[in-house]
Amino acid sequence: MYLGVVLNPFAYKNRASTGDRCARFRHIVGPWGEVHESRSVDDLGEIVAALLPRASHLVSDGGDGALHWLINEVRNQVADPEHWPAFVPCRAGTIDFVARKARVRGRADSILRALADAAMSDQPPPELHLDTLRIDGRSIDGASFQRVGFALAAGGVGCRFFDRYYEAPNPSRATIIKVIARTIGGVVASAVRPGRASGPDLFRPTRAKVVIDGEEVATRTHNALHAGAFDVNLGGVLRVFPQAREQGVLQFQAGEMSPAKIIAHLPALVAGGAVRGDRLRDTVGRKMTITIENGDEPLSPIIDGERFAGLDQLVVTVGPRVRIARPTHPQSGQRPRLSAGLRLHDVGMRLR
C-alpha cells in the first residue's frame, strides 16, 4: 500500500480547520504515503501525475465535488479503470453522499491513521465497488464534454435546489430543511397571492428533448431531469434514486409534475420511496439522451455537486465501477497500533 492524500483547503469542514493540516497529515501518513494540497482544479493534473502509478489508494480530503474532480483526473491519465487506485472520501464537504453510501466513517485524521496502520501491516482495508454514470456531451460551441460521476441534476428542480442550497454561506443539513420549508411556504403563498411568491421558481422547468433507452419522453418540459448511479442520501434528509440501489442499474427521471405534487411526494423522498406522476418518467435504464433545441436555454448540469455550464446535449450511460476503500478503526478497548507517523526516535523513547 502507498497512500496519496489530496487536501482541498476550501472544503466546507476544512475551512474551519486549525493548525497546519498538511503537516499533521504528513506526520500521520509517515513513510507510507505523501500529502499534496490542491488549491484549484488546475493543480490536480500535476498532483495526480506525481502520485500515479505509485499510489494504491487516493484519499480525497474534501467533499463530493473534490472526489469527483480527483476521479476524473485519474480517468484523464489512466484510460483503463482496472488500473485505477482505490479512492477514500474524507467527509469534509457539506453532504458527502459518496462517503455515506460507502459507509466511510470518522474524521480525516482517524481515517488516515487507519490507512497508515493498514499500510504498515500490509493489510489493505476492505473495499466497496460503486457504480458510476458516464456522461458524454457537447457544449454550445461544439466542444466535447466527458465526465464520470455518481449523481446528475441536468435541469429542473434538482438544479434549482442546489442553486438555493449553495447560496447559503455555510450550507449544511439544516440548509436542506430550510430550502424545503421556504419552498413549501412559497407554493402556499403563491396560491393565496399569485405572482408574488418566489418559492415556485424552484419548479421552473427545463426545456429539452429526452430519450430513455430509445423511447422519447412525451413532454419537452421537465421539472425533473435527473440520473443516479446508486441510491443517494442527501444529508440524512432526502433519499433519492432508490431504484438504483442494486448494482449495475441506473435510475433516470424526466418529465412534468406540478409543484403541489412534488411537495406531496416529500414524505416519499424523505423515506427513500418512489415518485409517481402521469407525465413523469421515473425508471431504471441504460441510456438517457438530453438535447436542447433552438432557442432553449443551455443546460447547466450539476454533477456530484459541481456545476458545468453551457451544454446543448448530454448522453448518460453506465460508467466504470469505482473502488472505494473503507478504513476500519480499532474497536473500543483494543490496544492501539503504533501510528504510522511515529518515528523510530519516538518508539525508542517509549521503550525506555
Q: Where are the domains of the chain?
A: 3-131+323-351, 133-320
Amino acid at 29: V
Task: Please give the grid coordinates belonging to residue 212.
Answer: 430513455
- Beta strands of 199-328 (E only): which ranges? 206-207, 209-212, 215-216, 221-222, 224-228, 232-234, 238-240, 250-255, 280-285, 287-291, 302-303, 306-307, 311-318, 322-325
State what percent of residues in the chain have pLDDT above 90. Answer: 66
* CATH top class, domain 3-131+323-351: alpha beta
State what percent of residues in the chain have pLDDT above 70. Answer: 88
Q: What is the mean pLDDT of the chain?
A: 88
What pLDDT score was predicted for residue 295? 83
Q: How far apart are the C-alpha atoms of 218 and 281, rounded to whole Å?
A: 9
Residues in the chain: 352
Q: What is the pTM of this model?
A: 0.88
Task: Please give the grid coordinates belonging to residue 8.
Answer: 482541498
- Per DSSP bridges, beta strands 311-318 and 33-37 are unpaired
Is the pLDDT at 334 greater than 60? The verdict is no
Is the pLDDT at 118 greater than 60? The verdict is yes
Average pLDDT over residues 233-246: 93
Q: How far apart are the C-alpha atoms of 299 and 207, rounded to whole Å?
A: 9
What pLDDT score was predicted for residue 306? 95
> Over the stretch 51-74, which tens digit does the pLDDT of each residue have?
998 999 999 998 999 999 999 999
Confidence of residue 335 (pLDDT cuts 50, 70, 90): very low
CA distances for 168 relative to 45, 95, 173, 182, 224, angstroms: 30, 14, 11, 13, 23
> Over the stretch 253-295, which tens digit does the pLDDT of each residue have?
999 998 888 888 889 999 999 888 889 999 999 999 999 988 8
What pLDDT score was predicted for residue 199? 53
> Over the stretch 294-303, which tens digit does the pLDDT of each residue have?
888 999 999 9
Is the pLDDT at 350 greater than 50? The verdict is no
Question: Which helix H or strand E contains 58, and what residues bound it?
Answer: strand 57-61
Angle made by CA atoms 250, 90, 300, in degrees to the nearest 5: 45
- Most confident range (mean pLDDT) of 14-23, 34-43, 212-221 is 212-221
Is the pLDDT at 33 greater than 80? The verdict is yes
Separation of first and last alpha carbons in the chain: 31
**Top-confidence residue, 42 or 144:** 144
Domain range 133-320, its CATH number among 2.60.200.40, 3.30.1360.30, 1.10.1040.10, 1.10.3720.10:
2.60.200.40
Is the pLDDT at 331 greater than 70? The verdict is no
Q: How far apart are the C-alpha atoms of 30 and 112, rounded to whole Å?
A: 10
What pLDDT score was predicted for residue 137? 96
- Residue with cell string 453510501: 101
